[in-house]
Amino acid sequence: MSTKTSPVTAADLAKNAYKQQYGVIVICSDEAQQIAVYEAMKQQYPNNKIKVVTT
């Protein structure tokens, strides 16, 4: 049985393992507020990556 080697080396992983990021979490009371906050943030910060999450 042959062993396949990964094209990604340990050095590649170490070099790119962590990228510092900064974020803000807004806790909304319901889905309607979440939509409103999301739309407002898209308008106010068009060059930022805006993500929607639910828990």
For residues 26-31, average pLDDT: 96
pLDDT for residue 2: 62
| Phi then psi dihedrals of residue 40, to 5 deg | -65, -40
Q: Is the pLDDT of residue 48 over 70?
A: yes
For residues 24-42, average pLDDT: 97
pLDDT for residue 20: 86
Q: Is the pLDDT of residue 35 over 90?
A: yes
Q: State how far the alpha carbon of 42 is from the alpha carbons of 16, 28, 46, 51, 55, in Å.
A: 29, 16, 5, 10, 21
| Phi then psi dihedrals of residue 10, to 5 deg | -60, -35
Under a CB-based contact definition with an 8 Å cutoff, are residues 41 and 53 in contact?
no
34 Cβ partners below 8 Å, 6+ apart? 28, 52, 54
pLDDT for residue 1: 61
